């Protein structure tokens, strides 16, 4: 969640031009505004939230054009190495445009794998240069000793005078990347290269942002983790410095990954892509594909394969900010039961905390005895509970005897918090008031964090954790609490519940000596980062060493109103234990917090897969975390944007993604919520969540939404084995669960921009309604009638679509068009109220035959929760020539039977159907064969042994 006053919305009118999608822009006019009282904020004064206004470079007409002015480098001393080449780059002439130019750089080129090339450029003198540690972010390594220039699909070519390089695909001769003709700019605070792109390029990636899938000319991507309510085109929570370039002339794709945590900006033009970073080294990786799916797999394999999430995480999640009391939480759970809407996991926003302090419980609204009973009850019905916490750790007031918060002491005493440049504690401000921030680079921070989480688990037996505000967000600019923490506990930033019972209750005065450590540290003069001192200088002075880290000479187009890097975030000059400045690793804060949380959960809940939902992400976060789209708005536009955001996160290695269904900020309405509950049920992470003060939006609030929800929840739960198998595939290969049409059909240029539809795996095509007041929706069905067959999910009928045509589909409220692509076999299981119940029900198969009467599919199963999977089951299904064969292997036992097989696209009614040679019951209708009552033939478990079904 977040304070919406900081949101810098860009006019909704832009949406239709940016995305080329038919989206209504006036849908929120008839909505009541949120009851959230903006004037009640009291923790910090407004002035404390104001940064120093910066003019973003890209909005400054007179800004120096580095590409035109810089003189570049010459490459000298080139030598061959075992896997590539090395050389030295000498600066031709210093221009010091946005920082001090380095006069000497080292170039290293490595052929790492047949499909991966590495280009590395770093200053010869690395003093004051941040080099991203390998133990923090995985570094792709040479794969095998036989890879050379001769075997690689990617070839590095260079020009010595006015150094530039190009990367060529050897199989096609195509230039994939070329900086030749444009100077390399390499200063302490500004690194830039500019590569040519072909006209009509198709570039995706460079998340996270709220934008259509394609980065069309004119797009500028700002990569700086930011707590802001999902503004269109602004920088938001995650940073994924990778783009995929899909070339339709040769039907190939490749990607480019800059392994850097630096603050970045990428300018996409008609025929160029210019990548800028404000610190660090050039550590580039090229992945050759050649198909989009190969590109994604190659990249995700290197940054870290996605976590195999627990099976239960596929169930439905309900959350809101404003479940004021434990009774209210109980009521929500019982309402779901009453309306018979499956509820797997109930969540808490900060409501449960005592004074919004992390890992505490409110004694009045969430008394611990009731809280514990609630969780026991939840677990008794096989449901789950997840609370959130924020990055900021409350700093208690030493003058107040009753203001006790042991977690702060533990962190402070173990030296596990971020510091100011002078070594004093960095104290910002989040929900509880003034807060310190864990420094996950500090040596004792893991121990501190593990203890914190274990202690909390002893009180509240949660099933996963939700890491919020971890960009990391701080409401005030700078270490505002250095002098202010004596005002803690502050009043919360919002009115809450019954005003007569407002927090805080009486606090006494006292002298608590143990807190003197804060002041002691504040007065200490030593600092590990003394080489990076800087003056608050909004005039963009160019400084040596680290430079001016508060106001870099190149100002990014940061989506906070004043564009100051310190606004609504921990300041760039906050300092880590080892001297690393936040400026260099800001984009990693959430990533590091998630890693520490993951390690802590492994100890707190042994051998259970940790479930972590994180708002801030970086390349590789998917290996430990799920992610949601952040603070979106209850509006049609944000429902549409959930699709490109999901596709972009998927290609960034975070397949377990969903957004706040029905919308977070502002009030939703029944029509939007109905459409969104249906769309959301096809995303791997399915959670409804909204903000404090907005109207309730649980799916039982409106009967029309209840009905619509049940329809697609039933489909989702029926398909759980399919979804879980896809999660496993993702975990093994890096391939996302939700897939763009352009990844499935990479040779069709006209699909490149489609982000209003998506595939789930290869088999299901979802065509949601994304606008109000309509009863139809348009969609494309690639290859239909030529190479592909599509079946309507609901009627099983083969639909007569024309490839390349924008078909109009009936889609009255409550109906989301869903099609099965011929050639696929989907494993199913009868839905239950919970995941645990569903897993005790009989299995089934949906077999959708292709043009040749063939289909295939697979199933993966295990116990769904063990961290170390000891037994698992894999089943391959193949259909051909009126026969389906299952081939199981693995030792995970399931006892539930196979009850039915539904075969779509059977052209004639068969005379008989046999299962393992025995006649079985079936019906035939609409070219669909329904084989039922198989239970007795698979008593030992659906996939206990191979079976053959013939018709």
Ligand X SMILES: *[C@@H]1O[C@H](CO)[C@@H](O)[C@H](O)[C@H]1NC(C)=O
Q: How far is the CB of 466 from ligand X (least distance, A)?
A: 28
Total length of the chain: 951
What ranges make up the beta strands (E) of 704-768?
A: 738-739, 758-760, 764-766
CB of 5 or CB of 536, closer to ligand X = 536
CB of 423 or CB of 622, closer to ligand X = 423
Contact string 564-583 vs ligand X (x = CB under 6 A): --x----x-x----------
**654 near ligand X, judged by CB under 6 A:** no
Can you spell out the DSSP letters for 148-182?
-TTT-SEEEEEETTTTEEEEEETTT--EEEE-TTS
What ranges make up the beta strands (E) of 395-528?
A: 428-430, 433-436, 465-468
**181 near ligand X, judged by CB under 6 A:** yes
CB of 476 or CB of 726, closer to ligand X = 476
Pick from 859, 947, 840, 950: nearest CA to 897: 840
Distance CA 748, CA 496 (A): 54
CB of 573 or CB of 697, closer to ligand X = 573
Distance CA 824, CA 846 (A): 8
DSSP state of 775: S
Q: Pick from 121, 206, 476, 477 the residue near ligand X by CB under 6 A.
A: 477
CB of 282 or CB of 672, closer to ligand X = 282
CB of 485 or CB of 676, closer to ligand X = 485
Q: How far is the CB of 656 from ligand X (least distance, A)?
A: 31
Residues 519-548 that bind ligand X (CB under 6 A): 534, 536
**112 near ligand X, judged by CB under 6 A:** no
**189 near ligand X, judged by CB under 6 A:** no
Q: Pick from 478, 680, 864, 888 the residue near ligand X by CB under 6 A.
A: 478
Q: How far is the CB of 104 from ligand X (least distance, A)?
A: 9
Q: How far is the CB of 766 from ligand X (least distance, A)?
A: 37
Separation of first and last alpha carbons in the chain? 56
Q: Across the beta sheet with 433-436, what order do the strands follow?
A: 393-394, 433-436, 428-430
Question: Token pair for residue 744?
Answer: 């499935």
CB of 61 or CB of 458, closer to ligand X = 61
Query: Annotated catalytic residue: which of 463, 584, 631, 862?
Result: 631
Burial readout 270-295 (b: 16 or more C-beta within 10 A, e: otherwise): eebbbbbbbbbbbbbbbbbbbebbbb
Per CB under 6 A, the segment of 58-66, 160-168, 775-783, 868-876 that binds ligand X is: 58-66
Q: Pick from 34, 115, 182, 474 the residue near ligand X by CB under 6 A.
A: 182
Q: How far is the CB of 48 from ligand X (least distance, A)?
A: 10
Q: Pick from 421, 629, 721, 817 the residue near ligand X by CB under 6 A.
A: 421
Q: Pick from 4, 43, 67, 560 the residue near ligand X by CB under 6 A.
A: 67
Q: How far is the CB of 287 from ligand X (least distance, A)?
A: 16
Strand partners, 214: 204
What is the residue whose two structure tokens read 């690194």? 191
CB of 435 or CB of 730, closer to ligand X = 435
CB 83 within 8 A of CB 118: no
Q: Pick from 27, 115, 194, 691 the residue near ligand X by CB under 6 A.
A: 194
**154 near ligand X, judged by CB under 6 A:** no
Q: Pick from 45, 125, 923, 926 the residue near ligand X by CB under 6 A.
A: 125
Query: Annotated catalytic residue: which of 471, 582, 744, 771?
Result: 471
Pick from 736, 621, 727, 586: nearest CA to 213: 736
CA atoms within 13 A on the CB side of 262: 28
**334 near ligand X, judged by CB under 6 A:** no
3-state SS assignment for residue 705: helix
Binding footprint of ligand X, residue count (CB under 6 A): 27
**581 burial class (0-12, 13-18, 19+ CB within 10 angstroms)?**
buried
Helix or strand (DSSP H, E) at 72:
none
CB of 566 or CB of 596, closer to ligand X = 566
**76 near ligand X, judged by CB under 6 A:** no
Q: Pick from 155, 272, 368, 512 the residue near ligand X by CB under 6 A.
A: 272
Q: Pick from 10, 24, 48, 63 the residue near ligand X by CB under 6 A.
A: 63
CB 782 within 8 A of CB 803: yes
Distance CA 817, CA 776 (A): 10
Helix or strand (DSSP H, E) at 208:
none
Helix or strand (DSSP H, E) at 273:
strand 272-277
CB 542 within 8 A of CB 553: yes
Q: How far is the CB of 432 from ligand X (least distance, A)?
A: 21
Q: Pick from 5, 81, 144, 334 the residue near ligand X by CB under 6 A.
A: 144
Q: What is the largest CA-CA distance in the chain?
A: 90
What is the residue whose two structure tokens read 């079985």? 920
**146 near ligand X, judged by CB under 6 A:** yes
**55 near ligand X, judged by CB under 6 A:** yes
Pick from 292, 293, 268, 294: nearest CA to 199: 268
| Residue 631 falls in the annotated catalytic set | yes
Per CB under 6 A, the segment of 104-112, 269-277, 379-387, 726-734 that binds ligand X is: 269-277
465-468 and 175-178 as β-strands: parallel, antiparallel, unpaired?
unpaired
Question: Token pair for residue 889?
Answer: 């292997």
**267 near ligand X, judged by CB under 6 A:** yes
CB of 60 or CB of 607, closer to ligand X = 60
Q: How far is the CB of 158 from ligand X (least distance, A)?
A: 17
**64 near ligand X, judged by CB under 6 A:** yes
3-state SS assignment for residue 650: helix
Q: How far is the CB of 223 from ligand X (least distance, A)?
A: 16
**127 near ligand X, judged by CB under 6 A:** yes
CB 869 within 8 A of CB 751: no
CB 449 within 8 A of CB 457: no
| Residue 937 falls in the annotated catalytic set | no
What is the residue whose two structure tokens read 């540690």? 133
Q: How far is the CB of 267 from ligand X (least distance, A)?
A: 4
**776 near ligand X, judged by CB under 6 A:** no
Q: Pick from 35, 45, 151, 747 the residue near ligand X by CB under 6 A.
A: 151
Cα angle value 841/844/850 (rounded, 5°) = 160
Per CB under 6 A, the segment of 21-29, 42-50, 268-276, 700-708 that binds ligand X is: 268-276
CA distances from 921 to 321, 918, 937 (A): 51, 10, 11
Pick from 430, 429, 455: nearest CA to 350: 430
Distance CA 443, CA 445 (A): 6
CB 218 within 8 A of CB 648: no
Per CB under 6 A, the segment of 213-221, 266-274, 458-466, 847-855 that binds ligand X is: 266-274
Q: How far is the CB of 188 from ligand X (least distance, A)?
A: 9
**888 near ligand X, judged by CB under 6 A:** no
**22 near ligand X, judged by CB under 6 A:** no
Strand partners, 223: 264
CB of 194 or CB of 595, closer to ligand X = 194
Query: Annotated catalytic residue: which of 153, 351, 468, 584?
Result: 468
Q: How far is the CB of 542 from ligand X (least distance, A)?
A: 10
Q: How far is the CB of 63 from ligand X (least distance, A)?
A: 4
Question: Token pair for residue 56?
Answer: 């973003």
Per CB under 6 A, the segment of 143-151, 251-259, 874-882, 934-942 that binds ligand X is: 143-151
Q: What are phi and psi of 466, to 5 degrees?
A: -115, 110
Catalytic residues: 468, 471, 631
Interaction site with ligand X (CB under 6 A): 55, 60, 62-64, 67, 125, 127, 144, 146, 151, 181-182, 194, 267, 269, 272, 274, 421, 477-478, 534, 536, 550, 566, 571, 573
């Amino acid at each position: 969640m977040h304070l919406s006053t900081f949101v810098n919305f860009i006019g909704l009118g832009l949406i239709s031009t940016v995305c080329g999608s038919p989206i209504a822009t006036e849908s929120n006019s008839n909505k009541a505004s949120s009851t959230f009282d903006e004037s009640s904020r009291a923790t910090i004064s407004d002035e404390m939230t104001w940064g120093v206004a910066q003019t973003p470079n890209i909005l400054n007409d007179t800004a120096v054009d580095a590409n035109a002015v810089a003189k570049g480098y010459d490459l000298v001393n080139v030598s061959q190495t075992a896997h590539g080449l090395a050389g030295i780059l000498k600066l031709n002439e210093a221009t010091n445009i946005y920082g001090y130019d380095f006069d000497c750089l080292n170039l290293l080129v490595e052929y790492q794998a047949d499909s991966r090339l590495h280009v590395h450029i770093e200053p010869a003198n690395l003093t004051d240069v941040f080099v991203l540690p390998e133990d923090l972010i995985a570094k792709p390594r040479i794969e095998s000793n036989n890879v050379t220039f001769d075997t690689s699909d990617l070839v590095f070519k260079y020009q010595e005078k006015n150094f530039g390089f190009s990367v060529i695909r050897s199989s096609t001769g195509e230039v994939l990347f070329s900086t030749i003709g444009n100077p390399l700019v390499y200063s302490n605070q500004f690194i830039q290269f500019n590569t040519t792109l072909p006209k009509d390029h198709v570039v995706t990636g460079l998340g996270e942002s709220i934008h259509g899938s394609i980065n069309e000319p004119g797009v500028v991507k700002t990569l700086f983790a930011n707590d802001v309510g999902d503004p269109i085109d602004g920088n938001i929570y995650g940073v994924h410095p990778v783009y995929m370039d899909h070339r339709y002339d040769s039907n190939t794709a490749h990607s480019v990954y800059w392994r850097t945590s630096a603050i970045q900006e990428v300018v996409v033009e008609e025929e160029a892509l210019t990548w800028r970073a404000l610190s660090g080294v050039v550590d580039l990786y090229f992945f050759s594909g050649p198909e989009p799916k190969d590109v994604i797999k190659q990249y995700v394999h290197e940054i870290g394969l996605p976590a195999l999430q627990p099976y239960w995480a596929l169930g439905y999640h309900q959350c809101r900010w404003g479940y004021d009391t434990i009774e209210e939480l109980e009521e929500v759970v019982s309402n779901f039961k009453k309306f018979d809407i499956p509820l797997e996991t109930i969540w808490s926003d900060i409501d449960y905390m005592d004074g919004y302090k992390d890992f505490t419980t409110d004694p009045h609204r969430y008394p611990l005895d009731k809280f514990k009973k609630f969780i026991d009850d939840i677990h008794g019905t096989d449901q789950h509970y997840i609370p959130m916490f924020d990055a900021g750790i409350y700093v208690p007031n030493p003058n107040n005897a009753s203001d006790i918060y042991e977690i702060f002491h533990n962190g402070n005493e173990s030296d596990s918090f971020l510091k100011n440049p002078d070594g004093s504690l960095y104290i910002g401000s989040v929900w509880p008031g003034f807060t310190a921030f864990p420094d996950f680079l500090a040596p004792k921070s893991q121990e501190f964090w593990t203890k914190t989480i274990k202690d909390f688990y002893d009180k509240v037996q949660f099933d996963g954790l939700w890491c919020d505000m971890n960009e990391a967000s701080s409401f005030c600019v700078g270490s505002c609490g250095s002098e202010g923490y004596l005002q803690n506990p502050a009043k919360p930033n919002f009115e809450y519940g019954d005003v007569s019972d407002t927090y805080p209750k009486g606090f006494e005065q006292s002298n608590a000596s143990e807190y003197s450590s804060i002041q002691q540290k504040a007065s200490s003069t030593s600092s590990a980062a003394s080489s990076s001192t800087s003056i608050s200088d909004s005039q963009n002075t160019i400084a040596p060493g680290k430079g001016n880290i508060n106001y870099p000479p190149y100002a990014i187009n940061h989506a906070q109103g004043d564009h100051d890097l310190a606004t609504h975030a921990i300041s760039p000059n906050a300092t880590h234990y080892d001297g690393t400045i936040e400026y260099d690793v800001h984009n990693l804060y959430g990533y590091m917090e998630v890693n520490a949380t993951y390690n802590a959960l492994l100890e707190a809940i042994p051998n259970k897969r940790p479930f972590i939902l994180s708002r801030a992400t970086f390349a590789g976060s998917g290996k430990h975390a799920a992610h949601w789209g952040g603070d979106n708005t209850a509006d049609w536009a944000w429902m549409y944007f959930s699709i490109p955001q999901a596709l972009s996160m998927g290609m960034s290695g975070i397949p377990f993604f969903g957004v706040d269904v029905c919308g977070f900020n502002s009030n939703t309405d029944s029509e939007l919520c109905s459409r969104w509950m249906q769309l959301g049920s096809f995303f791997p992470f399915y959670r409804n969540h909204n903000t404090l003060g907005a109207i309730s939006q649980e799916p039982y609030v409106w009967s029309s939404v209840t009905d619509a929800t049940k329809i697609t929840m039933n489909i989702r739960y029926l398909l759980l084995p399919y979804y879980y198998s896809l999660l496993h595939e993702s975990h093994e290969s890096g391939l996302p669960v939700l897939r763009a049409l352009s990844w499935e059909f990479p040779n069709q240029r006209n699909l490149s921009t489609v982000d209003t539809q998506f595939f789930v795996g290869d088999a299901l095509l979802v065509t949601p309604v994304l606008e109000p007041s309509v009863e139809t929706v348009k969609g494309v069905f690639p290859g239909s009638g030529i190479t592909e067959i599509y079946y309507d999910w609901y009627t099983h009928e083969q639909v007569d679509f024309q490839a390349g045509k924008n078909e109009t589909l009936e889609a009255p409220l409550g109906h989301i068009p869903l099609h099965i692509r011929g050639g696929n076999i989907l494993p199913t299981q009868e839905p239950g109220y919970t995941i645990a119940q569903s897993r005790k029900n009989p299995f089934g198969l949906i077999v959708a035959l292709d043009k040749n009467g063939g289909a295939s599919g697979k199933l993966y199963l295990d116990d769904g929760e063990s961290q170390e999977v000891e037994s698992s089951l894999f089943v391959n299904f193949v259909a051909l020539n009126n026969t389906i064969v299952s081939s199981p292997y693995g030792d995970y036992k399931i006892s539930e039977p196979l009850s039915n097989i539904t075969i779509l696209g059977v052209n004639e009614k068969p005379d008989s159907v046999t299962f393992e040679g025995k006649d079985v019951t079936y019906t035939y209708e609409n070219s669909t064969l329904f084989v039922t009552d198989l239970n007795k033939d698979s008593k030992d478990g659906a996939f206990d042994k191979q079976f053959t079904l013939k018709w």
